[in-house]
Amino acid sequence: MAAKLDAPITVEAAAGAAFVFARGRIADLSRLEEARAAAPPIFARTVFAAGEVLDLPGSDGQPGRADRVTPLLAAINARRGQGDGPWQSVWVEYPDTNDGKELSPLARSLETRLDGALRTGGSIHADATLRLHVFLTAGTHALVGTSSDPERSAWPLGIPRLRMPGGAPSRSTLKLAEAFAVLLDHGDRAALRPGLHAVDLGAAPGGWTWQLARRGLKVTAIDNGPLKGGVADDPLVTHLREDGLRWRPRRAVDWLVCDIVEQPMRIAEMIGHWIADGATRRAIFNLKLPMKKRYDEVRRCEARIADIIDRAGLNHALRMRQLYHDREEVTAYVKRID
């Protein structure tokens, strides 16, 4: 993304910190939005443009009594005076680490007080498009910034509050539920409707098949292993004990999902051919990443998918993100565009 800005950017990251500073001066913030659209962040849950790190009181041994609201409001009002805002809401966040989670009581308290003060001052409007972020790097340091569509997270810290549904045979079901929420727009989600046909490659024990069937889709589950729980007897599910890497449907399907543990390039090529050959219109899949050069591998897979589909003379859209419920992988959504 920094390369797309054509501006001097320095990146600062500390191992285990769970956040990254990309420092630089951007005269026109619309260029930041253009850069994010051209090179969407893959491994970042939340991205926002902020000023310098703000020092907060609280280092006197009594942090609970320190007045952090006043300096935060001063920094926020300075942004408003420079043309930023109004904002739809204010989120006070912190690193998703063990140390960071100790800041959660402080974050909740600050968010309540800031929200009240900003609403009283007319800086919070329900129809605004921007979101105000206060990110606590520590109890005595914070960043104040703004995010806007399309890449901002729908959840504080980028963590969706999904509960393990009763009846689902495995926790992997949450990955597909999050993919539906993060990677699909309103029109795409509308295409997850009863009566459509889907294929789940590497289905066992059935967590992804369960997500599709509960939405009323007819699912062909491909896996040599067994399905577990109620999904095994679901009338919407047909289980075929075959190799998911080789199996193809006799007729085109509406959706393909795939969570097979395999080399990422092999999965990327398989998905590309499913789209290029007209076997499916849409696919959600995971790429299990190597230990090193993960970003480079993602980009290689992205380019390979594009090459296969382009050679078929088709247009497509592709989004990739590392989701909260992912581990050493990224989740991708690709669709054919007519």
Catalytic residues, by residue number, are 288
Q: How big is the chain by its Cα radius of gyration, in Å?
A: 23
Rounded Cα–Cα distance for residues 24 and 31 (Å):
13
Which uninterrupted H or E stretch holds 34?
helix 29-38
CA–CA gap between residue 122 and residue 133 (Å, rounded): 17
Q: Cβ contacts of residue 295 below 8 Å, gap of 6+?
A: 42, 43
Beta strand pairing call for 237-240 and 315-321: unpaired
Answer yes or no: are the C-beta atoms of 261 and 301 closer than 8 Å: no
284 closest CA partner among 195, 207, 194, 170:
207
**Stated length of the chain:** 338
The answer to whether 305 touches 337, Cβ cutoff 8 Å, is no
Neighbours of 215 (CB within 10 A): 17
DSSP string across 145-205: EEE-TTTS-SSGGG-------TT-SSTTHHHHHHHHHHH--HHHHHTS-TT-EEEEET-TT
- C-alpha span between 178 and 211 (Å, rounded): 11
